[in-house]
Structure 1
Amino acid sequence: MQQLNKEVMFMATYNLFISHSWAYTDSYEKVCSLLDNQVTANGFNYKNYSVPKNDPINDAANDKQLRSAIEAQMRPASSVIILAGVYATYSKWINIEIEIAKALGKKIIAVQPWDSERTSSVVKNAADHIVGWNGSSIVKAICG
Structure 2
Amino acid sequence: MPKTYRLFISHSWKYGDAYDKMIKFLDEQGISYYDHSVPQGDPIHTNGTDRQLREAIDAKIKGCSGVIILAGVYSSYSKWINEEIKISRDYGKSIIAVEPWASEKTSAVVKSAADRIVGWNGKSLANAIRELF
TM-score scaled to structure 1, two decimals? 0.86
What's the counterpart of residue 108 of structure 1?
95
* Paired-residue identity, %: 57
- The residue type equivalent to 1:74 in the other structure is I
> Could you say which structure has the larger radius of gyration?
1
CA–CA distance in structure 2, aligned partners of residues 72 and 35 of structure 1? 23
What's the counterpart of residue 80 of structure 1?
67
Q: Which blocks of at least 5 consecutive residues in structure 2 are unaligned?
A: none
Q: Which blocks of at least 5 consecutive residues in structure 1 are unaligned?
A: 1-9
Matching of residues 1-144 of structure 1 within 5 Å: 10-39=1-30, 44-59=31-46, 61-144=48-131
Deviation of 1:61 after TM superposition, in Å, equals 3.3
Contact preservation (8 Å) 1:17, 1:80: yes
Instruction: Classify the secondary structure of the residue corresponding to 1:101.
Output: helix
- The residue type equivalent to 1:70 in the other structure is I
- The residue type equivalent to 1:56 in the other structure is P
Instruction: Classify the secondary structure of the residue corresponding to 1:114.
Output: coil
CA–CA distance in structure 1, aligned partners of residues 108 and 47 of structure 2? 29
Deviation of 1:60 after TM superposition, in Å, equals 5.2
CA–CA distance in structure 2, aligned partners of residues 49 and 36 of structure 1? 16
Spell out, residue by residue over 1:83-116, the C-alpha distance to the aligned partner (whole angstroms, 9 max, x if none). 0000000001011011101101111000000011
Question: Aligned-residue CA RMSD in angstroms?
Answer: 1.2
Paired positions, count: 131
Spell out, residue by residue over 1:105-137, the C-alpha distance to the aligned partner (whole angstroms, 9 max, x if none). 111000000011100000000000000011111
